[in-house]
Homo-oligomer: A and B are copies of this chain.
C-alpha cells in the first residue's frame, strides 16, 4: 500500500505508467520511453514499479517488454490507476495559508 503510493508518487514513474497505459495492449520495451533520464536511472524506476506490483516484465530476445498489471492494480487499488492516468491540473490546491483559515462559523 505504502509501497504502491510511493512508487506512484514520482514524476518519472507517473510518466512511465501513462505511456504504458497509452500503449496498451501493446507492450513497450524499456528503451522506447520518452524520458529525460539515462538508461540506468530508467532501469531503477522499472525496478521500483515492478516491486510495487504495478507492472510485469518479460524478455523478448534482447529486449525487455513491460506491461501494466492493470487487473491487479484495479482490484487492489480501485480507482487509483485511473487517477494516475488522468492528467489532472497539477496545481489546484490554493489552501497554502493557515492563519486566515477559520470555518468554525462559516462552515465553508
Beyond the given A3-B90, A57-B98, A79-B79, could you list 18 further A-B residue pairs with CB under 8 A, ordered by the A residue number? Answer: A2-B9, A2-B14, A5-B8, A50-B95, A52-B93, A53-B92, A53-B93, A57-B101, A58-B101, A58-B103, A58-B104, A59-B102, A60-B104, A64-B98, A67-B103, A69-B95, A79-B82, A80-B83
Among B8, B51, B59, B104, which residue has its beta carbon within 8 angstroms of that of A95?
B51
Chain A interfacial residues counted at CB < 8 A: 46
Copies in the complex: 2
Find A93's partner among B51, B94, B95 (CB 8 Å cutoff). Answer: B51
Q: Please determine whether A2 and B11 come into contact, CB atoms closer than 8 angstroms.
A: yes
Can you list 23 A-B contacts (CB < 8 A)?
Answer: A1-B90, A2-B11, A4-B93, A5-B9, A5-B14, A5-B84, A6-B9, A9-B9, A50-B95, A50-B96, A51-B93, A51-B95, A53-B93, A53-B95, A56-B103, A57-B98, A57-B101, A58-B101, A59-B102, A77-B83, A78-B79, A79-B80, A79-B82
